[in-house]
Structures are given as C-alpha cells and as structure tokens.
Amino acid sequence: MAGLAVERGRAMAAGFGRRGRLGGVFGALAALALAGCAAPGPARLEPAAARPGETVRVTVPGVRAGARLWLEPAAGAGGPRFGNEGLGPGEGVNFGGQRRAAVEGDWLYVADWFAGLRIYSLRDPARPRLVTTFHTPGSAKGVAVRDGIAYVADDDRGLSVVDVRNRRRPRLLARLALPGLAYTPVPAGQRLYLAAHRAGLHVIDVTDPARPRLVATLDTPGKAWSVAVRGTLGVVADAEGGVLTLDLSDPAHPRLRGRYRHEGLDAEDVVLAGTLAYVGTYDDGVLVLDLADPARPRLRGRLAMPGPARGLALADGRLYVADWDAGLRVYDLADPAAPRLLGVLDTPGMAWGVALRGTSAYVLDWWAGMLAVDVGEPGRMRVTDGYPRGAEVRGLARSGRWLLAAAGHGGLLVFDVRNPLNPTWAGSMLAAAGVADVAAAGGRVWVALGGLGVGEVDLSDPYAPALRGWHPVGMPVRRVWSDGRWVAAGDPAAGLVVLRAGAADGPALAVAGPWRDAAVAAGVLYWIGADGRLQGRRLDGGPADADVPAAAGLVRLAAEGGLLCALAESAEVACWRRAAAGGWSPAGRLVVPGARALALAGPVLHVAGAGALVTAAVGADGLGPARRQPLAAAVDRLAADPEAVYGAPAPEAVAALRPLPDVSARAAGGVFRLTLPADLPPGRYLLRLADGRGAREVGTLRVAAGMGGPVRGAEGLRGRLPAR
C-alpha cells in the first residue's frame, strides 16, 4: 500500500535546465497524483498538489529500513521530455536558417540566419557540394552576387561585402553599418538597393565594393522585406505598407510613385515579369499586380496558398513559390494573370526561399537545410540531394561549445550546442574518402579518413573547419581516439596505430590484427582483442605492456583518466578505478539489457541500452544508483558531458538527452521525502522502490506544466520570428 502527501518547504533548484525550447525552466504549478501499486493489497492514496522545488512526502507502509525510493521517467505517451527525440527539424536538431540564395555560374550562395554565407559548388546541379561557410557577425537574411562580389544583408549588423572569387577562401572587403535590419539586397548598375525592414529602403553606392557608401534612404510606411528593380522602377514588398512602386531615375533621391494595399496585407517578397509583379504575402497567398501604370498598381489576380508565400522565383514562364510549411509550389504562367498549379513538393522544414538553375530548384528549407529538387517535370518533382539533413552520423565528440559529428560522405558536421538539447548546424568539412569517426581532446580534433589515414582538423573557425594535415597509416582508418597527447586509430580488421599529438614523427603500429574496440586515456592505449580480452600498452616513456583488469567476453570500452569501464557480451558493464599504488580496484557492475554503447563524462557513466539510457555515478565506493530514462534511437555511439548526452545514429542525425537528475530518498520510519528539482520537465514519472526484495513500481507521479512552458507546433512559429 502507498500513500502520498506534500510537505511544504523551501528547496534548492537542481539547475540542470537550459535556455531554449527543450531546456526552459518549468516554473509552473505541478499537479501530482500517486496511483497504482506493484505490491499486493489495496492502495491507500492521499492526492495532493505541489510546486517544483518543494518536497513530496511519500508513505509506504511496511517498507524495510534503508529502502530507497526514486523517480524514473515513464516511457511513451504522457512521459516527460528529457531530450530532442521525436521532434522535427528545428526543435530537435537545427540544420540552419537558410532564407535566401543567389546563383552565379556554377555556384550557389546561401544566406544562413545562424551561420552567415554558405557557398556550394553546382558542378553537378543535382548534388550541390558545400565548399565553405563565411561566418558573419549578424544574422544573414539575404545575399546578392555580381562579378565575384557577394553582398550579404546581415540584419542588425548592416551590409557585409565579401570577395568570393576564391570560393574556398572568401575574404571580407567591407562592412557598412546601417539603420534598421538588412534583409534583401539587389544590385543594379553602380547601386545596391537594400530592403532594410523598419528603416525602409537604402540606396548604397558600390562603385568601389571595398568602400560602399550610403547615398539615400527612403522611409516606408511599414517594414520593407524585399525589393525588385527593373530600369528606373523599384517595387518594395512592405509589411503593413503594402506594395510600393518607386521612381529610381535619380538613385540619390528615390521617390514614391504608387501604392497597392488592402486591410491586413503583409507583403514579403516580389518578383517582376514584364508589366506584372508577383507578390508573396504572409496571409493572402500570391498577388498578381499590373504595373503598366506604376503610379496606379492594379490587382489582376490572386493565388490562394495553404501556407505563407515567403519566397518567389521566376524562370521559363513558371513561378516557383516557397510556401513555408506547405513546401514548394510551381505554377504555369501561360496566362500571367491566372497562374495554373503544376506541382507541389512538401519539404521537411519550412520553405522560405527558392533559387533556380536549369531544371534544379534549390529550396531554402528553414531548420532542415538546403534541398536540391528536380523540377524538370513539376508534376513529379523529387529531391535529388539535401544538406546537411539526412547525413548518417557515425561518430561523435565534444569540443567546448561544439559537437562534432562524423557523417561519412557528409563529412564532419559541427553543431553549436550552447543550447545542449537543440544542436544547431554551424559548419562542415568534406573529405574525399568521407569522415568515419572523430575524436577531440586537449584542444585538438582528429578524424578517421578511411584510405587517407588519420587527419587533424583546424577548428579555429568552427563555421569553416579545415583539414590541417593527415597521416597515411598503411590501413583504412575507421575509428579514432585521443586523450590530448596521444592518438590511436585503425581498422577493426587490420590493427591499431598510435601517434603523438603535435609530434613530427609519424604513426607507429601498436596492435597487429583484429580488435573489437579501443580507448586512450592518461597515456595508455586499451583495446579489446578479437578474443574479447582486455589488453593495454603504456605510451608515455616508450611502448610497454600495461596492467589491465582481468576481463573477457568484452565488446565496448570507455576510459577517462583513471577510470575504465567495459561492456561484455552478457550486457553487463563493469568499471574499475586505477589505485594510487598501482593496479585496479573494482568500481561496480550493472546489467543493461540490449546495451550497445557507453561513455564516461568525468565520474559519470552513461550506457545506451534497449529503449533506455542508463546513468550511474562512479564513486569511491562503487557505482551509485542507476537512473534510467527512455531512449528511442538504437544508438551505437555516445558522447557525453555534464550538460547532455548525445547519441548516434538517430532519425534526426543526433539524439540529445539531458542527464536524468537523481531524485531519490531513503526511508525514515516508512516515509520518503523526494525533493523535486525546480525545472523538472512535466509528465508522468514512475515511483520505484528497492528494499532488499528487488525493485518494483509502487505508484505514479504526475508533474504538469502551467504557463510559461515551451511553445510548440505551427501555431507558435510566427512568434519565434523577429518582429515584423
């Protein structure tokens, strides 16, 4: 039988929450109810309510002295969310804020809100290849390219002028601070016209791109999102102000000529075709305006859209619409005033922009990366490639605020994890043979490059990581490890080599023949031989055999400092601690059904099992109580730190989980007092009891979030964007 009461009192916040959609403070009223009992007999309940940070008093009659009660998140519907699993692009893993793009020759230039300017090669138009990313200080909203010069509209940081004639090494020419928010640049002659949101329209002299000069500003009634120019005619899509026609015959003195608007019109983009303007709007689809008399724009037609028409492109008598959550839509303009729908392609993210080259369309799919789409037959459009979403992650490592993901032929992906549960793509490094694994320690990053050997990566610019050099090792390199001073790499079928980080001498063979797993820690190479036995070799002071714990039947290793943990074929994990006088002392064992991967983050062990992540502290007296939380992905690799545990492969490239806090108590006279962390995620928790007769479930604790929780779903998207 079990009962529940609430003990009012002050408690300290656990402080494990983070900013962002998944890691905010759940400071709302928690409604709690205890129900169900695994022990025989009727349950006696005392339902109550409490706020996070208070102490919950749980009474279990007949419990043995010293029994332990703890919280464990329930799996499935109603369970709390401790990670990004099951969330779509943006909420789970953010693959970039691509908004606008420009094509010049065989190159695609993409303005990425979170990173800056990304440059792709279009030598194979169906499969763009990322060449580099040029990080800008603001939030890149738009880009125009002419004669090898890129003009990047960088939000509140104004205009960045970048020399991209050497696409692999873009060079900043100039920055121009400007009023407002720089959104959409359009070069025309020696002038650049820039839609600057709340500041209206800027006219910039770019006769010398290295010395751009503001020559005029035209205030607009609302917020200028986009501009199109043909000859001396300018057309501005102005949120709240409508569609404005301008006389640009004297660029130093732009003049308003005409205006089209109706109540609630929220214009976002505009393209010109003859005397017609096609205007994308947030709520009114696409408007077709007749500008034969620019002083009196006239509505000729309207295309209803299922989503906000946020980006437009014209080519070969067709109109392409990036329709936000409704994907890409293509229209035939045989009758320009009444376009006819030819095809629709849904996209995984939010289509905000589209650029064209031949029969390929490049969709800027906010949160989900960039998609290359074959639009040769609009009724049968198909995605031919996408980057970086879809890359299969094979290895993970953490370096400061950056999460590094080895993604095979997708290269090395670098994610910003300042919000640990919402990794945001920052940059990539591609390699001819792909990147099979990654290791980071001591400020250095190492990658497994297959037949090229082992390489070192320069991460001084995380948005444009570069290969500093590589070492051929006489075998394909599939795995790599490092403790900061030493690097081990090899092929499980062929052997292992070691090299000293930063040393001029090349790699030396350390293990000949097959192995199962390996690790490097505190100057010692550990490996599991093909027979499942643990072996070791000291690397400092010259190679020599190292003493290791006697263990067999092993399949996975994790080592850090003087801790060593190994996973056996039996699903048992054993840990050892190196003694000060030498040798090893046992540090505990636990069984994790379906265990596939393990990682150490300081003295904390994480094990990925069948449907669960199991966490336990490795203390001086052995393993602490094991804490279990749901894990949907069947991950083979883990990387961990005190803030988060990352697993791969996962449906959205990387699974990110917040380590489960220890919410437990020992019995005192049959009563348990559980202190709830102040930011405990809402949902259903299991109350589990261990009293020497095995562990069993004795009830359910429900924590419900009130006001102030994270915003989810399409209805909340508009509120996440900058003020219009």
- Note the pLDDT tens digit of each residue in 601-610: 999 999 999 9
Query: Could you tell me the two tokens for 205?
Result: 């002299």
Gap between the Cα atoms of 640 and 319, Å rounded: 47
Q: What pLDDT shows up at residue 652?
A: 85
- The type of residue at 27 is G
Gap between the Cα atoms of 312 and 297, Å rounded: 19
Q: What pLDDT shows up at residue 526?
A: 97
Gap between the Cα atoms of 260 and 245, Å rounded: 9
Burial of 428 (0-12, 13-18, 19+ CB in 10 A): buried
Q: What pLDDT shows up at residue 88?
A: 86
pLDDT in tens, 23-82: 333 333 333 333 333 442 222 335 455 667 878 888 887 788 888 989 999 988 889 999
Q: What pLDDT shows up at residue 49?
A: 55
**Among residues of the chain, what percentage have pLDDT more than 90?**
76
Q: What pLDDT shows up at residue 294?
A: 98
pLDDT in tens, 427-486: 999 999 999 999 999 999 999 999 999 999 999 999 999 999 999 999 999 999 999 999
- Which of 206-210, 329-333, 456-460, 502-506 has the least mean pLDDT? 502-506
Q: What pLDDT shows up at residue 250?
A: 98
Q: What pLDDT shows up at residue 53?
A: 80
DSSP label of 716: G
**C-beta neighbour count of 240 within 10 angstroms:** 14
Q: What pLDDT shows up at residue 45?
A: 32
Specify the higher pLDDT residue, 718 or 107: 107
Contacts 24+ apart (CB under 8 A), 158-161: 158/182, 159/185, 159/192, 159/194, 159/204, 159/212, 160/117, 160/136, 161/206, 161/209, 161/210, 161/212
Contacts 24+ apart (CB under 8 A), 484-489: 484/441, 484/442, 484/443, 484/444, 485/442, 485/523, 485/540, 486/520, 486/523, 486/525, 486/539, 487/439, 487/446, 487/454, 487/520, 488/518, 488/520, 488/525, 489/446, 489/448, 489/453, 489/454
Query: Could you tell me the two tokens for 78?
Result: 């109603």
pLDDT in tens, 575-589: 999 988 888 999 999
pLDDT in tens, 174-202: 999 999 999 999 999 999 999 999 999 99
Q: What pLDDT shows up at residue 65?
A: 82
Preceding peptide of 388 cis, ω within 30°: yes
What average pLDDT does this structure show over 519-532?
A: 97
Q: What pLDDT shows up at residue 24?
A: 38
Whether 220 has a pLDDT exceeding 50, the answer reads yes
**pTM of the predicted model, to two decimals?**
0.90
Q: What pLDDT shows up at residue 64?
A: 80
Instruction: Quickly state the pLDDT bin for 9 (edges 50, 70, 90).
Output: very low
Class of the CATH domain delimited by 557-659: mainly beta
How does the average pLDDT of the chain come out, rounded? 89
Q: Are 72 and 628 in contact (CB under 8 A)?
A: yes
Specify the higher pLDDT residue, 492 or 507: 492
Mention every residue, 6+ apart, whose C-beta is less than 8 A from residue 718: none
What average pLDDT does this structure show over 299-323?
A: 98
- Which of 155-159, 243-247, 391-395, 406-410 has the least mean pLDDT? 391-395
Gap between the Cα atoms of 456 and 587, Å rounded: 34
Domain ranges for the chain, please list them: 1-82+660-724, 96-213, 557-659
Q: Are 238 and 222 in contact (CB under 8 A)?
A: yes
What average pLDDT does this structure show over 683-700?
A: 86
The answer to whether 96-213 and 557-659 have equal CATH topology is: yes
Q: Are 240 and 222 in contact (CB under 8 A)?
A: yes
Mention every residue, 6+ apart, whose C-beta is less than 8 A from residue 574: 549, 551, 565, 566, 568, 586, 588, 589
Q: Give the CATH fold of the 96-213 domain.
A: Methylamine Dehydrogenase; Chain H (2.130.10)
Whether 568 has a pLDDT exceeding 90, the answer reads yes
Gap between the Cα atoms of 80 and 74, Å rounded: 7
Q: Are 13 and 56 in contact (CB under 8 A)?
A: no
